[in-house]
Amino acid sequence: MTNLVLFGPPGAGKGTQASVLKEKYQLVHISTGDVFRHNIKNQTELGLSAKSFIDRGQLVPDEVTINMLRAKVEEHKDAKGFIFDGFPRTVAQADALGELLASMNEEVDAMVALEVEDEILVERLLERGETSGRPDDADETVVRRRIKVYYEETAILKQYYQKQGKYYGVDGVGSIEEITERLSKVIDKLI
């Protein structure tokens, strides 16, 4: 199996690249946001639990999130590997993901981070906001705050995976094909 954590700030192109990479390498793309929405919409036990925290304005505990991911991973036991998108976000979550994969005799092979300058991110998100209708992409103040929070919350994860020799930063500026090529060079070395 090849197990990747795809990382990058909002607007870096993670969703676009995950779609391309999952096809190219026949990996299962697990977006934490999608998993949450699916469980809440289908009123699963985990979804109802998560919704109860969200409705109170609280963060969903790591245990609930990990259990949702575990269920998603177990749906795909014969997968060639996974692309984790939006998870982990904390060291505790990174440890939990490591434990989940270890229980399957697997591990995270790499954190691949799309690196993009802040001003380009702001431009991309505001552009996306005009076409997507997403309110969180339409307000420059909100966009800049999201980028700032990303760096504050995730800088420690870069160090976490660097210490394990598993962090790979990739230039996230250029055409979709150019960025895919850069990511592929990293992934091809892991396979």
What residues form the annotated binding site for ATP?
Answer: 11-16, 128, 174
The annotated binding site is made up of 11-16, 32, 37, 58-60, 86-89, 93, 128, 134, 146, 174
Q: Is 146 known to be catalytic?
A: yes
Contact predicate 3/100, CB 8 Å: no
For the CA atoms of 12, 14, 20, 24, the dihedral, rounded to the nearest 10 degrees, stands at 120
Residue of 14, 22, 72, 124 marked catalytic: 14
Order across the sheet with 110-115: list the strands. 28-31, 81-85, 2-7, 110-115, 167-171
Residue of 72, 89, 124, 182 marked catalytic: 89
CA distances from 75 to 32, 69, 95, 114, 139 (A): 15, 10, 21, 28, 38
Q: Is 134 known to be catalytic?
A: yes
H or E element at residue 50 = helix 45-55
Q: Is 182 known to be catalytic?
A: no
Residue of 70, 128, 144, 158 marked catalytic: 128
Residue of 24, 41, 134, 145 marked catalytic: 134
Residue of 22, 72, 124, 146 marked catalytic: 146
The annotated binding site for AMP is made up of 32, 37, 58-60, 86-89, 93, 134, 146
Q: What is the distance between the alpha carbons of residues 138 and 89, in angstroms, rounded to a whole number? A: 24
Q: What is the distance between the alpha carbons of residues 85 and 18, in angstroms, rounded to a whole number? A: 8
Q: What are the residue numbers of the active site?
A: 14, 89, 128, 134, 146
